[in-house]
């Protein structure tokens, strides 16, 4: 029987608190076949899509986005936490459950009119990737698609990203 990406994801009940089912992707990365399958499945989500750039959100978006860009012969652009990029940046803040966060991109990382695929490991509430999409758009790029390895549908991040084409390899119904 052929394994799926979900077979490589480890679920830890009651972590970090009771009632939470933590979906751990490190078990995917630690297995060469699991990691290869994850990248292949994410690339499959892009079949037939015409785009120019792959963009990944810090930090696990780098882990999945860079090999996707490499495999497809596309440039890879970083979305980083504030203060981590050395050149001129554009920044976007967003709300967290308890506070605020800010992400940045180099101002020269996306050219006007470029079609961008955003990549991250997980969609929960969608805040980080929504902020990333806003950065792409502020630089004149067009978000062609947003892809994730997994989705926690109960946290309704897809609703927050309703104006974008969003796809996930594995979708868990809960939180």
pLDDT at 98 exceeding the cut of 80: no
pLDDT at 22 exceeding the cut of 80: yes
Instruction: Compute the C-alpha angle 87/121/102, nearest 5°.
Output: 40
In a 13 Å sphere around the CA of 62, the CA atoms on its Cβ side amount to: 6
pLDDT at 44 exceeding the cut of 90: yes
SS3 content of the chain, % helix, strand, coil (to 5): 30, 35, 35
In this predicted structure, what is the pLDDT of residue 89?
98
Fold adopted by 50-172: Rossmann fold (3.40.50)
Closest by CA position to 91, among listed 106, 78, 77:
106
For residue 106 the two structure tokens come to 């180099």
Q: Tokens 């991040």 — which residue?
A: 157
pLDDT tens digit string along 116-160? Answer: 999 999 999 999 999 999 999 999 999 999 999 999 999 999 999
Proportion of the chain above pLDDT 90, given as a percent = 92
In this predicted structure, what is the pLDDT of residue 19?
85
Segment 30-57 shows an average pLDDT of: 98
Torsion sign across C-alpha atoms 40, 42, 43, 47: positive
Segment 158-168 shows an average pLDDT of: 97
For residue 10 the two structure tokens come to 């480890």
Segment 55-70 shows an average pLDDT of: 97
pTM metric for this prediction = 0.96
Distance of CA 14 to the CA centre of its chain: 24
pLDDT at 175 exceeding the cut of 80: no
For residue 115, the SS3 value is: strand
CB atoms within 10 A of CB 139: 19
For residue 105 the two structure tokens come to 């991109």
Residues annotated as part of the active site: 60, 97
Domain ranges of the chain: 50-172
pLDDT at 97 exceeding the cut of 80: no
Q: Can you name the residues that pair with 77 across neighbouring β-strands?
A: 55
In this predicted structure, what is the pLDDT of residue 28?
97
Decide the pairing of beta strands 115-123 and 53-57: parallel
């Amino acid at each position: 029987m052929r394994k799926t990406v979900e077979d490589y994801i480890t679920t830890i009940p009651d972590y970090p608190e009771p009632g939470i089912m933590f979906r751990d992707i490190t078990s995917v990365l630690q297995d060469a076949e699991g990691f290869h399958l994850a990248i292949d499945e994410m690339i499959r989500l892009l079949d037939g899509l015409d785009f120019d750039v792959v963009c990944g959100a810090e930090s696990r978006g780098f882990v999945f986005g860079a090999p996707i860009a490499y495999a497809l012969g596309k440039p890879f652009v970083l979305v980083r936490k504030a203060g981590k990029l050395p050149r001129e940046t554009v920044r976007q803040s967003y709300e967290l459950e308890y506070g605020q966060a800010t992400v940045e991109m180099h101002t020269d990382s996306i050219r006007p009119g470029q079609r961008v695929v955003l990549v991250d490991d997980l969609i929960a509430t969608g805040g980080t990737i929504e902020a990333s999409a806003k950065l792409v758009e502020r630089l004149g790029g067009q978000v062609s698609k947003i892809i994730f390895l997994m989705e926690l549908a109960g946290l309704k991040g897809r609703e927050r990203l309703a104006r974008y084409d969003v796809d996930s390899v594995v979708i868990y119904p809960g939180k």
